[in-house]
C-alpha cells in the first residue's frame, strides 16, 4: 500500500507539476516525443537534478538515501542496459516463479546477454526491476520492443502486481489501445505540464 | 666513485648534434616532413637541459631550503598542468587542475620524504643532489599514471553513461555503479609502470642506472639505487592513481548520487 505525490516538480522546461498517484492506480502518460515524459520519470527516480518534492507515502525522497529511494521508486528505462556477460549476474534475489509470467524460464539466468533478442532483454529487464520489490513503478514504454502476445503478458503482470501490492504505476505509452487496456487515469504531457484526460 | 667522469667539450656535443642535422637532411631529402620538427626539438633539448644545469648548479651551491621548496612547487605545478592537458575530458573549473595535482602532490611528496628521511638519509635530509632528482623521477612517472587513470575514467564514464544510470536506477550506490570503470582505469594507469618493473635490466637499462655507471659508480651500487627508484616510482604512481580515481569517481556524482557528466568539459575543449 503506497502513494506517490509530486509537488511543484520542475525539471528543465517541464513543470511545475503536481500529481498524486494512489495505491494500485495505473496512470498512463502520453505525449509527443521530446515533451518530457522520460525527463519526468527520471526526475521522480532522482536520477537527474530537479526542484520541488517527490513523496512516497508522505515521506520526501530526501528523507531516503538515494539508492534506497531508487529501489522503492523503480524506473524501467526504455532501453535496458546490461554490463556483464551472463544474464544471471545482474540479479540479486529473485522469485523464480516470476519467469513463467513473461514466457521465460529459470534457465534464462544462464543465458549470455549478447545472444538475447531485444524483446527477451526487455522482459528480463522488467523482471529485474520487479525483483527489488518496488513500492512504485515508473515504466518508460515497457512494451515498446515486444510482440502483441508478450505485450499482453506484461500488461497482465503489471496490473496484477499493482493490484496485489497496492502500488502506484506511472506508465509511458504511445498506444491508445494499451492505454485503454491498462490505465485507470490518462494524462498527457504537453507544453511543460501534465493534463488529465 | 674514485674515478671521475670524462668531461665533454662543446666540440664533442657539436659532433653529436651533427648526427641530428644529418638525420634532418635525410628526412628532408625523403620528403618525410619531419626535418623541421627534429631540429626544433633538438634545439629545445639543448636550451632546456643547459638551463636545468644552470639552475641545479646554483641550487646545489646554495642549498637553501626555501629555494628547494620553490623549485619543487614549480615542478608540481608543471606536472599538474601536463596531467590536465593529456585528458580528453578533464573536469571543469578548479577540479580539472586540482584533482590530478592533489593526488600527485600527496603521493610523490610523501614517498620522496619517506625515502629521504628513512632510506637514503642524506645530510641535511633536503640536500638537493638527492631531493630534486628523486622528486623529479617520482613526478614524471606519477604524472603519466594519473593522466592515464583519469583520462580512462572520465572517457568511459561518458561512454557508459546509460549503464551507470541503469545501475543507479536498480538501487546501486555510486561506488558500486562505477566500480568496473574505476577498476579498468586503475589498470590502465598502472600497466606502464608494472611493465617497466618487469622489463627493467633485461629489455632496457634504466636511464638513472646508465647515468650512475657513466659517472663512475659501481654497477652493483647503481643497481641498488635503481631498485629503490623503481619501488618508489611504482608505489607513488599506484597511490596517486588510486587516489585520483577515487576523487574523480566521487566528483562524477553529486550528493544525491546522480551521475553529473556536465561537470566534464566537452571533447572539443570548449565551455
Whether A150 contacts A123, CB under 8 Å: yes
How high is the pLDDT of residue B138?
93
Closest to A45 (Cβ–Cβ): which among B163, B169, B180? B169
Q: Cell numbers 544462464 correspond to what residue?
A: A110
- Subunit contact A80:B166, Cβ cutoff 8 A: yes
**Residue to substitute from A12, A47, A65, interface B, most B β-carbons within 10 A:** A47
ipTM for the predicted complex: 0.95
> Which is more confident, B216 or B189?
B189
Q: Cell numbers 499482453 correspond to what residue?
A: A152
Closest to A83 (Cβ–Cβ): which among B163, B169, B256? B163
Closest to B168 (Cβ–Cβ): which among A47, A68, A132? A47
- Subunit contact A67:B165, Cβ cutoff 8 A: no
Please tell me what DSSP assigns to residue A10. Answer: E
Whether residue B19 is predicted with pLDDT greater than 80 in this model: the reply is: yes
- Subunit contact B171:A128, Cβ cutoff 8 A: no
Q: What is the mean pLDDT of chain A?
A: 94
- Subunit contact A83:B258, Cβ cutoff 8 A: no
State CA B11 to chain mean position distance. Answer: 33
How high is the pLDDT of residue B268?
64
What are the chain A neighbours of B169 within 8 Å (beta carbons)?
A: 45, 47, 70, 74-77, 129
| pLDDT > 90 fraction of chain B, expressed in percent and rounded | 79
How high is the pLDDT of residue B202?
81
Q: How far is B174 from chain A (nearest CA, A)?
A: 8
The Cα B67–Cα B76 span in angstroms is 14
Q: How far is A134 from chain B (nearest CA, A)?
A: 10
Q: How many CB atoms lie within 10 A of CB B189?
A: 27
- Residue A195: strand pairing partners: A188
What are the chain B neighbours of A83 within 8 Å (beta carbons)?
A: 160, 163, 166-167, 180
Interface of B with A (CB under 8 A): 160, 162-163, 165-173, 180, 254, 256-260
Q: Count each helix (H run) and each strand (E run) in chain B, helices first.
A: 11, 0
Helix%, strand%, coil% for chain B, nearest 5: 75, 0, 20
The Cα A21–Cα A30 span in angstroms is 16
Mean pLDDT throughout B115-124? Answer: 92
Mean pLDDT throughout B100-114? Answer: 95
Render pLDDT for A112-167 as a digit per residue (tens, 0 to 9).
999 999 999 999 999 999 999 999 999 999 999 999 999 999 999 999 999 999 99
Give the contacts of B79 (CB within 8 A, at least 6 positions apart): B101, B104, B139, B140, B142, B143
Whether residue B227 is predicted with pLDDT greater than 80 in this model: the reply is: yes
- Subunit contact B170:A66, Cβ cutoff 8 A: no
Q: Cell numbers 611528496 correspond to what residue?
A: B109
Name the helix (H) or strand (E) containing A126. helix A118-130
How high is the pLDDT of residue B5?
77
How high is the pLDDT of residue B3?
57
How high is the pLDDT of residue A18?
95
Please tell me what DSSP assigns to residue A73. Answer: E
- Subunit contact A132:B171, Cβ cutoff 8 A: yes
The Cα A77–Cα A93 span in angstroms is 21
| pLDDT > 70 fraction of chain A, expressed in percent and rounded | 100
How high is the pLDDT of residue B271?
43
Among B53, B168, B154, residue whose Cα is nearest residue B99: B154
Tell me the pTM.
0.88
Whether residue B270 is predicted with pLDDT greater than 60 in this model: the reply is: no
Q: Say whether residue A93 is in contact with chain B using an 8 A CB cutoff.
A: no
Mean pLDDT throughout A95-111? Answer: 89
Pairing mode, if any, of strands A14-21 and A26-30? Answer: unpaired
Whether A97 contacts A63, CB under 8 Å: no
Pairing mode, if any, of strands A14-21 and A4-11? Answer: antiparallel
The grid cell for A89 is 549476474
Is the peptide bond between B13 and the residue preceding it cis, with omega within 30 degrees of 0? no
Amino acid at each position: 500500500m503506497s502513494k506517490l505525490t509530486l509537488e511543484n516538480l520542475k525539471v528543465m522546461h517541464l513543470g511545475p507539476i503536481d500529481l498524486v498517484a494512489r495505491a494500485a492506480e495505473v496512470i498512463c502518460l502520453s505525449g509527443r516525443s521530446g515533451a518530457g515524459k522520460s525527463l519526468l520519470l527520471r526526475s521522480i527516480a532522482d536520477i537527474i537534478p530537479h526542484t520541488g518534492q517527490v513523496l512516497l507515502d508522505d515521506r520526501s525522497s530526501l528523507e531516503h538515501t538515494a539508492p534506497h529511494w531508487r529501489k522503492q521508486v523503480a524506473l524501467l528505462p526504455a532501453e535496458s542496459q546490461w554490463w556483464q556477460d551472463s544474464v544471471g549476474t545482474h540479479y540479486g534475489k529473485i522469485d523464480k516463479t516470476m519467469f513463467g509470467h513473461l514466457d521465460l524460464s529459470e534457465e534464462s539466468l544462464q543465458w549470455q546477454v549478447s545472444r538475447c533478442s531485444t524483446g527477451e532483454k526487455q522482459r528480463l529487464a522488467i523482471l529485474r526491476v520487479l525483483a527489488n520489490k518496488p513500492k512504485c513503478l515508473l515504466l518508460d514504454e515497457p512494451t515498446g520492443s515486444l510482440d502483441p502476445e508478450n505485450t499482453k503478458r506484461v500488461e497482465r503482470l503489471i496490473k496484477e502486481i499493482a493490484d496485489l501490492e497496492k502500488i502506484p504505476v506511472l506508465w509511458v505509452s504511445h498506444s491508445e489501445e494499451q492505454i485503454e487496456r491498462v490505465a485507470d487515469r490518462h494524462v498527457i504531457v504537453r507544453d511543460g505540464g501534465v493534463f488529465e484526460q | 666513485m674514485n674515478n671521475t667522469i670524462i668531461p665533454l667539450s662543446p666540440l664533442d656535443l657539436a659532433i653529436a648534434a651533427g648526427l641530428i642535422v644529418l638525420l634532418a637532411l635525410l628526412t628532408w631529402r625523403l620528403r618525410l616532413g619531419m626535418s623541421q620538427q627534429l631540429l626544433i626539438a633538438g634545439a629545445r633539448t639543448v636550451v632546456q637541459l643547459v638551463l636545468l644545469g644552470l639552475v641545479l648548479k646554483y641550487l646545489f651551491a646554495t642549498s637553501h631550503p626555501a629555494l628547494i621548496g620553490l623549485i619543487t612547487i614549480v615542478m608540481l605545478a608543471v606536472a599538474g598542468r601536463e596531467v590536465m592537458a593529456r585528458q580528453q575530458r578533464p573536469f571543469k573549473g578548479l577540479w580539472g587542475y586540482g584533482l590530478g595535482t592533489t593526488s600527485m602532490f600527496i603521493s610523490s611528496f610523501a614517498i620522496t620524504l619517506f625515502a629521504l628521511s628513512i632510506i637514503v638519509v642524506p645530510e641535511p635530509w633536503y640536500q638537493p643532489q638527492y631531493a630534486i632528482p628523486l622528486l623529479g623521477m617520482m613526478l614524471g612517472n606519477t604524472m603519466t599514471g594519473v593522466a592515464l587513470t583519469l583520462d580512462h575514467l572520465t572517457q568511459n564514464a561518458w561512454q557508459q553513461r546509460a549503464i551507470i544510470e541503469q545501475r543507479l536506477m536498480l538501487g546501486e550506490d555510486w561506488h558500486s555503479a562505477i566500480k568496473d570503470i574505476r577498476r579498468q582505469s586503475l589498470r590502465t594507469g598502472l600497466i606502464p609502470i608494472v611493465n617497466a618493473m618487469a622489463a627493467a635490466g633485461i629489455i632496457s637499462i634504466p636511464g638513472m642506472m646508465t647515468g650512475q655507471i657513466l659517472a663512475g659508480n659501481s654497477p652493483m651500487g647503481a643497481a641498488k639505487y635503481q631498485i629503490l627508484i623503481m619501488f618508489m616510482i611504482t608505489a607513488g604512481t599506484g597511490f596517486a592513481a588510486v587516489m585520483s580515481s577515487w576523487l574523480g569517481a566521487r566528483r562524477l556524482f553529486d550528493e544525491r548520487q546522480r551521475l553529473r557528466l556536465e561537470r566534464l568539459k566537452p571533447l572539443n575543449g570548449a565551455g
